[in-house]
Structure 1
Amino acid sequence: MRSQINNYRASNPTIWKGRESNDNLYFHEIVECIDLQKKILPKTKVPSFAILGYAIDEGVRRNLGRIGAAEGPDAIRNRLAPLSNHMADQTQIWDVGNIYCQNKDLEESQLSISEVISKILENDTMPIVLGGGHDLAYPHFNGIKKQFPKKTIGIINMDAHFDLRKVEDKGNSGTPFFQILTENNFCNYLCLGIQKSSNNRNLYATAVKLDVEYLENSTFTIQNQETIYSVLEDFIKQVDIIYCTIDLDGFSSMYAPGVSAPSPVGFSPDIALKTLELICMSKKLISVDIVELNPKYDIDNCTARLAAQLALYIIENIQIP
């Protein structure tokens, strides 16, 4: 993968710190930082994951949201680092750095991260991409499509918003799934946790027009687990591979206060974890992102801790085909 990548910066290894066990008892002890412009990502036949940051909130700014999500990737890394390691001994974790945005040129940065994601997947490694704004979904999908052009890609989005706004000038954090669905035929979109108060009638109409499947937050609860599982299982059967994207603003602000658009009536971690468990067990999940952490508004790093736990849960539960 060694090449010139625009708007790229390798991670500082000192971000991965915590208790020292000398026995790989903690997450930070198994992370290796790789500068993709100096070193090629190793090929391996064991479960491997590449942590990549989308340190960008230009899309949020364009969508009139409160900025700060550009600081999200490193905030999540900080909370991942000290967590206990219960993974198989052979599991490989690489931190491959961040993509940034210069001169408000979001489109150039999106081309860069698409290329990196595609190369990670080519290496039989799962990308764990940390945002950043949810505009990440558009280049993330494009990176997957580049690597799997003939596969039907299922997008599962846990989110309060459809993010189906039409592109009036340039893409933003509210347009990624409209861009994806209007540019591609071989993809299905399921959104879990939609809030009526956060999506106007036009967005619901767009969802119907584009054959979007969704469950509203009143249904996306642990009490409706059987219904949710039925919807998920039917969706998973229809696709070849799955891209899962988690927008932290879908969670209740009780759990996720540090986001661009907080809500007190969002869903809870219990149903999110149960959903992730089923997705991981499908053996179709190939790429994940966690977006919209805004450390500027977080309380005691609560939202960053949630994001870190979600990332760790996916890594621990993924079933490799």
Structure 2
Amino acid sequence: MNFSFLKPVSDAVLAHNELTAQQALGKKIKVHSRQNGIPDLEGVQMAIIGVLENRNDVNYIGNPINLDSIRKTLYTLFPGNWHTTLADLGDIEPGETVEDTYFAIRTAITGLVENRVIPIIIGGSQDLTYPTYRAYDELLPMVNVVSVDTNFDLGDANLPIKNNSYIGKVIVEEPYNLFNYTAIGYQTYFNSQEEIDLLEKLYFEAYRLGEISGDISKVEPLMRDAHIVSVDLKSIRASEVSDSQKYSPNGFSGKEICAISRYAGISNKVSSFGIYEYNGSKNDSATSMLVAQMIWYFIEGVNCRVKDDDFHNQDHYQKFNVLVENDELIFFKSLKTGRWWIEIPFLPNVNNKLKKHTLLPCMHSDYINATHGEIPERWYKAYQKNSF
């Protein structure tokens, strides 16, 4: 893997790290430094990459990005009882053009994911999710993207890409690799009715802030099938972050966004995790601490991963058949973890994208509701999408 375009972690961060406790995370991370170069990634499961690019932010006024405060804070935290190794590869600096930066992101992420290293991206504007998605062109035939955001960021796909329109590009630009897009925590007054209707028409999934805050465990099955998770820091309520980061009085609490990050880590399929829209400032301790804790919880989640979707061995699961109206719904429950799935049947005469029986992650409550005659909305949307 050629990462020569990465800028090393700053000497200021490394000097600060010398003062941290011997058991702190900073003493256990393999760090890309000016003195020692890029670390050997043998045995590394996760790698932090900063991306100092925000020129496609619709509010861009030339402010540079500095991630030192996040790193200083993260390095002082103590690791859990973890069995994984973490690296910090430093930063991707803005290229001559934004497209140059995108190319560097694609190159880095493709290289890492191919080698089973999960990139943890700390970035500027959220349009950086687009080159992350494009990095999968050579990796997977179909990709699932989960965005934690106040907005859908669909925008007008005919206009140049911006941080409020990158999902439109993901949907309409070839190659068409997007299978499912899930928006978590959207706030209706930030999204036009046309965008809400379009998401519904495409059978994508959208969950309002109140729905998720009312039961944060609903995030777990949504993350279980995701490959790319993109978190917009604007989804966090203003009272939880520093002045330069404040966006809306409504949003996720620090506790909720950390739980969401942990659910992303627990998912066996999530292979890249990005935190975007970071606006650093001098008085930035609240935001940098929260981002550091989100990263900590994601790493914690990865360490708690359990391979529980082996449905070839009948000793590993229970199967439940439920008749709802004219449909037979088939549920599976893992005996290892207690997690649930529902089967989406293969339609033999349709040129669909999956060509097989697909198991869709769900909750125990979906099974209970099905026994009372209620078809899960996720099943219906996935079934319709499978019929295209």
TM-score in terms of structure 1 length:
0.83
Which of 1, 6, 13 lines up with 1:15 in the alignment?
Answer: 13
1:130 aligns with 2:129: no
Paired residue for 2:293?
Answer: 309
Unaligned runs of 5+ in 2: 308-388
The alpha-carbon distance between structure 1 residues 182 and 2, as it changes in their structure 2 partners (threshold 3 A), is same
Q: Which amino acid aligns with 2:192?
A: N
Identity percentage of aligned residues: 20
For residues 148-297 of structure 1, the aligned pairs below 5 Å read 148-150=139-141, 152-183=142-173, 184-221=176-213, 223-225=214-216, 228-229=218-219, 232-233=220-221, 235=222, 239=225, 241-258=226-243, 262-296=247-281
1:50 aligns with 2:47: yes
TM-score in terms of structure 2 length:
0.70
1:80 aligns with 2:74: yes
1:64 aligns with 2:59: yes
Which whole-Å CA distance do the structure 2 matches of 1:284 and 1:259 have between them? 34
Shift of 1:253: 0.5
Which whole-Å CA distance do the structure 1 matches of 2:223 and 2:77 have between them? 31
The alpha-carbon distance between structure 1 residues 169 and 177, as it changes in their structure 2 partners (threshold 3 A), is closer
The alpha-carbon distance between structure 1 residues 267 and 130, as it changes in their structure 2 partners (threshold 3 A), is same
The alpha-carbon distance between structure 1 residues 65 and 40, as it changes in their structure 2 partners (threshold 3 A), is closer
> CA offsets per residue over residues 12-31 of structure 1, 9 Å max, x none?
25414344433xx1111112
The alpha-carbon distance between structure 1 residues 266 and 304, as it changes in their structure 2 partners (threshold 3 A), is same
Shift of 1:3: 5.6
Q: Which amino acid aligns with 2:239?
A: M
1:94 aligns with 2:87: yes
The alpha-carbon distance between structure 1 residues 87 and 111, as it changes in their structure 2 partners (threshold 3 A), is farther
Which whole-Å CA distance do the structure 2 matches of 1:277 and 1:153 have between them? 21
Rg larger for: 2
> CA offsets per residue over residues 134-171 of structure 1, 9 Å max, x none?
0110011112333x222x32212111111111234421
RMSD across aligned positions (CA): 2.7
Shift of 1:300: 4.3
CA contact (8 A) 2:147 2:231 kept: yes
Which structure exhibits the higher relative contact order, with contacts defined as CA atoms closer than 8 Å and separated by 6 or more residues? 1
CA contact (8 A) 2:10 2:33 kept: no
Stretch of structure 1 that moved more, 106-115 or 26-35: 26-35
Shift of 1:256: 2.5
Stretch of structure 1 that moved more, 158-167 or 35-44: 35-44
Q: Which amino acid aligns with 1:30?
A: K
The alpha-carbon distance between structure 1 residues 202 and 259, as it changes in their structure 2 partners (threshold 3 A), is farther
> CA offsets per residue over residues 96-152 of structure 1, 9 Å max, x none?
12112244x111110111110111112211100001110110011112333x222x3
> CA offsets per residue over residues 66-106 of structure 1, 9 Å max, x none?
664x4253332122121122242x53221112112244x11
The alpha-carbon distance between structure 1 residues 159 and 257, as it changes in their structure 2 partners (threshold 3 A), is farther
Which whole-Å CA distance do the structure 2 matches of 1:273 and 1:135 have between them? 22
